Amino acid sequence: MSSHSFRCIFRALLGLGSATLACVLAAHVASAQTYGFATLQPGTLNHTTAAAIAKVLKEKAGLNVLVQPTAGDNVIIPMVNKAEVEIGIANAPELHNAFEGAGVGGKQSDVRIIATAHALRTAFWVRKDAPMRTIADLKGKKVALGYSAMRVIDVLSRAMLATAGLSEKDVQPVLVPNVIRGADDFIAGASDMYFFAFGAPKVREVDTTVGGTRVLEIDENGMPAARAISQWGYLTDAAPGPIFVGVEKPMKVYSFDNVLFTNKTVKDEFVYKFLETLEKNKPDLIAVQPALREFSAAAGYKKYQVPYHSGALKYFQEHNLQPKDVM
């Protein structure tokens, strides 16, 4: 190309108005924006859920979402509240505690719900050759408690113990910061049980490492005592199968919701597109995280006390969706 041609192109670019140039630059910056997604450590159910969602948003909507592992929900929720990341995933009890100011770090009043991702079905696991079969059998045993980086897990563990009429005074507490450490301590023999969510890679790792595990059965009649400790827990069905590692017969398991949330300042367009993309690409989500089989915009709109983001409400209203009861 001749120097004369270069000069012609340069003059043409200069001929663009400043407003046009600003729009072009703004569009380029927007297309290059990265959205942070705070979640738990690799090996947890939540990390796999976040990875599945980030992959679909990138491939189907062109949204560059970066998964950021953290130590626990006590870290995730403040990150979103301060708008350090745009998206977070945490359990409903933890999110409500934080919003109301009952959690660590004070009131997190700027968080807003997008939708429920799926239920977190949880259990207490013991070694398969252990004599324990029900939660009541944990009396006098070494039980993971404390959860300094995941305080609500301590509350939920106490609620599960309460279904058998037990409290921390009836067991030998083994203090752990998070569920990963609790599982590792169980492998090492420091505790007689561990708490985790079904479907997490760590559960299968533990099962393989120790030569087999068993889920302790929960007493349905003890749920009123459990709800006195945490109102957001409920029971769901579990049966022997690939996901329900350690379940030896059909039984009920302690469950609560896993919630996707954001900051109130995040644009409506992003949240709307977030929901729309997940709704339209469910098979791609399930291919990475089978637990997201439960996800839908309709099922994800529930009657919670934390407000919903305005972009989510716009999506729900345009699709004639009404909030459902939690349990």
User: Each residue of 79-102: pLDDT tens digit?
Assistant: 999 999 999 999 999 999 999 997
Average pLDDT, the chain: 90
Percent of the chain past pLDDT 70, that is, above it, reads: 90
Domains of the chain: 32-120+257-318 (3.40.190.10), 121-256 (3.40.190.10)
Q: Which pair of structure tokens corresponds to residue 132?
A: 């324990």
Question: To which residue do tokens 């039980």 refer?
Answer: 143
User: Each residue of 117-176: pLDDT tens digit?
Assistant: 999 999 999 999 999 999 999 999 999 999 988 888 999 999 999 999 999 999 999 999
Give the chain's largest Cα–Cα span.
Answer: 89
Work out the average pLDDT over 24-43.
73
- The beta strand positions in the chain, using DSSP E, are 34-39, 64-69, 87-91, 111-127, 142-146, 172-176, 194-197, 213-215, 234-238, 251-263
Which position has the higher pLDDT, 74 or 285? 285
φ/ψ of residue 298, rounded to 5: -65, -50
Residue 30 pLDDT > 80: no
Percent of the chain past pLDDT 90, that is, above it, reads: 81
CB atoms within 10 A of CB 309: 27
> Considering the entire predicted model, what is its pTM?
0.77
Task: Look at residues 266, 277, 275 and name the one whose alpha carbon lies nearest to residue 312.
Answer: 275
Looking at residue 104, what is its pLDDT?
Answer: 67
Residue 10 pLDDT > 60: no
- Taking each helix axis from N to C terminus, what angle separates 201-210 and 179-188, rounded to the nearest 10 degrees? 10
Residue 4 pLDDT > 80: no
